[in-house]
Amino acid sequence: MKTIALEIEKALGTITKEQIFSQAKAAQEANVLLENGQGKGNDFLGWLHLPSSINELIINDIQQTADSLRSKCEVVVVIGIGGSYLGAKAVIDAISGTFDTKKPVVVYAGHNIGEDYLHELSEFLAGKLFGIINISKSGTTTEPALAFRILKKQLEEAIGKVEAKSRIVAITDEKRGALRTLSDKEGYKTFVIPDNVGGRFSVLTPVGLLPIAVAGIDIKQLVAGAVSMEKAIGTTVDFEHNPAAIYAVVRNLLYQKGKKIEILANFNPKLHYVAEWWKQLYGESEGKEHKGIFPASVDFTTDLHSMGQWIQEGERSIFETVISVAHPKYTVEVPHDTEDLDGLNYLAGKRVDYVNKMAELGTQMAHVAGGVPNIKIELPELNEYYLGQLLYFFERACGISAYLLDVNPFDQPGVEAYKKNMFKLLDKPGY
């Protein structure tokens, strides 16, 4: 099996190979800190060996639960916010057919407080056989709790409490939190989010795996890809062969050179939510103590017609990391047209992906020439295996990068500020 590949040559105008290698020891030490559990936030390192430690029993339990929901439901609503839904959505969107209407359809709730969104969702679900996967590690997050209360009522009113119970699954803490109390009282099927795995690192726990399996995606292949990456970027691997360590070093050096914003770009619209997941992973892990690269994202070529101008000629405080997929799944050729009124015959017989790849190369050349350092991560194909590799690659690189920046990658004290104000404004007891 191949692996995803990291290319950093197009970042070398701004930083040098010598500078990168001068950080080899620090990056290796950061990787070892993760492994030894002696760094900041070491209570939350459960994700580090998740891929290789997921046992067959858990995978089978997840698959059986998914199969049961798949057999009973036309629609499954995944309720969760932040790390409790982004990983699942990233994988589901990347692997599923864009216009797929295969049952069950997976939809999302609890990731906003939109009244119209909830109303429209309720209307969409009315008269349909639906189930709910309710995900909250703390079990007390307002957005998912609110959505669950509304959808639980709708489900119970539609099919009765007993039948509803067989279509609700909760994923939460083993002992604590309102969702745990509620699930135990109602007798829902539950899965546990390990104590030592934070939300944004939880895609390879039932948090991600159950919704992904419900969407009909091969979770064993996803995990297999992550296992292979766990081996490829561990502490026994030299710096020069460790893409996660190199990526972490390069982005930190660019940051020191004033490149304060990293734009994750893709040339495949299916990767839009991989970027959303990545933004949470890096933003929430590194943005603290008034430090940290701002993670942004664009979908190309779509956004070349909107953000492209800014990237080419705006403030030179950015670098780009492009996720490139070497081979698409399908083949579509540009047809020949006798009249050629649209002037496209010069492309006749060429694959659409060839046009896309030339757009990718042309964009890279233009942006690099315009002062935007470029990092490329290439996936041989967009499938479960390589996506598993990519997810684990980004997680481990994030841990190393945050340690290089000297922040705790595993806490998120900043997200409490808005909650305190909101609860006070809402007259929540105790605030």
Catalytic residues: 284, 305, 419
User: Taking the CA of residue 399 as centre, how many other CA atoms within 13 Å lie in the half-sphere pointing to its CB?
Assistant: 33
> Residue 363 in contact with residue 345, Cβ under 8 Å?
no
Report, in Å, the least distance between residue 54 CB and ligand PA5. 19
Q: Which stretch binds ligand PA5 (CB under 6 A): 81-89, 223-231, 326-334, 361-369?
A: 81-89
Question: Does 136 engage in binding with ligand PA5 (CB under 6 A)?
Answer: yes
Token pair listed for 290: 């008034």
Q: Which of 252, 262, 279, 284 is nearest to 27 (CA)?
A: 252
**Rule CB under 6 A: is residue 141 a binding residue for ligand PA5?**
yes
Q: Is 137 in the site for ligand PA5 (CB under 6 A)?
A: yes
Of 23 and 280, CB closest to ligand PA5: 280
DSSP for 40-82 reads: TTGGG-TTTTHHHH--HHHHHHHHHHHHHHHHH-SEEEEE--G
The piece of 75-83, 313-321, 367-375, 382-390 that touches ligand PA5 (CB under 6 A) is: 75-83
Contact letters for ligand PA5, residues 92-111 (x by CB under 6 A): --------------------
Q: Which is nearer to ligand PA5, 172 or 324 (CB)?
A: 172
Span of 65-73, 82-90, 230-238, 326-334 interacting with ligand PA5 by CB under 6 A: 82-90
Nearest to 319 by CA among 279, 371, 277: 371
Among 6, 81, 151, 170, binds ligand PA5 (CB under 6 A): 81
Which residues, numbered 272-301, are part of the site for ligand PA5 (CB under 6 A)? 284
- Distances 28 to 51, 236, 242, 400 between C-alpha atoms, Å: 21, 9, 9, 8
Which residue intervals of 96-205 are DSSP H helices? 115-125, 142-159, 161-165, 178-186
Return d(Cα 92, Cα 215) in angstroms, integer. Answer: 7
Which tokens sit at 10? 């197009």
Find the shortest distance in angstroms from Cβ 408 to ligand PA5: 13
Closer to ligand PA5 by CB, 3 or 84: give it.
Answer: 84
Q: What is the DSSP letter of 288?
A: B
Q: Rank residues 249 and 275 by Cβ distance to ligand PA5 and give the closer one.
A: 275
**Shortest Å, Cβ 415 to ligand PA5:** 6
Comparing C-alpha atoms, which of 325, 374, 328, 319 is closest to residue 351? Answer: 328
Residue 412 binding ligand PA5, by CB under 6 A: yes
Taking the C-alpha atoms of residue 389 and residue 222, their distance in angstroms, rounded to an integer, is 8
In the complex, the smallest distance separating the C-beta of residue 207 from ligand PA5, rounded to whole angstroms, is 8
Name which position in 42, 138, 301, 302 contacts ligand PA5 (CB under 6 A).
Answer: 138
The candidate with the shortest Cα–Cα distance to 176, out of 140, 227, 126, is: 140
C-beta of 84: minimal distance to ligand PA5 in Å?
4
Binding mask 204-243 for ligand PA5 (x = CB under 6 A): ----------------------------------------
**How far, in Å, CA of 358 to CA of 355, rounded?**
5
Question: Which one of 62-70, 135-143, 271-279, 302-310 is the stretch in contact with ligand PA5 (CB under 6 A)?
Answer: 135-143
DSSP character string of 325-377: EEE-SS--BPPP-SS-TTS-GGGTTSBHHHHHHHHHHHHHHHHHHTT--EEEE
Q: How far is CA 216 from the centre of its chain?
A: 18
Q: Which is nearer to ligand PA5, 200 or 376 (CB)?
A: 200
User: Which structure tokens are listed for 199?
Assistant: 């939300």
For the chain, give the number of residues: 431
- Compute the distance between CA of residue 130 and CA of residue 408 in angstroms, rounded to an integer: 40
Is residue 82 close enough to count as binding ligand PA5 by CB under 6 A?
Answer: yes
The residue (of 81 and 254) whose beta carbon lies closer to ligand PA5 is: 81
The count of other CB atoms within 10 Å of the CB of residue 347 is 16
- Retrieve residue 245's tokens: 């360590």
The distance of closest approach from Cβ of residue 168 to ligand PA5 in the complex, given in angstroms and rounded to an integer, is: 16
**How near is the Cβ of 110 to ligand PA5 at its closest, in Å?**
8
Contacts with ligand PA5 by CB under 6 A: the residue count is: 14
The token pair at 13 is 């105008």
Given the complex with ligand PA5, which of 44 and 300 has the nearer CB atom?
44
The window from 35-43, 196-204, 216-224, 307-315 that contacts ligand PA5 (CB under 6 A) reads 196-204
Q: Under the rule (CB under 6 A), what is the footprint of ligand PA5? A: 81-84, 136-138, 141, 144, 198-200, 284, 412
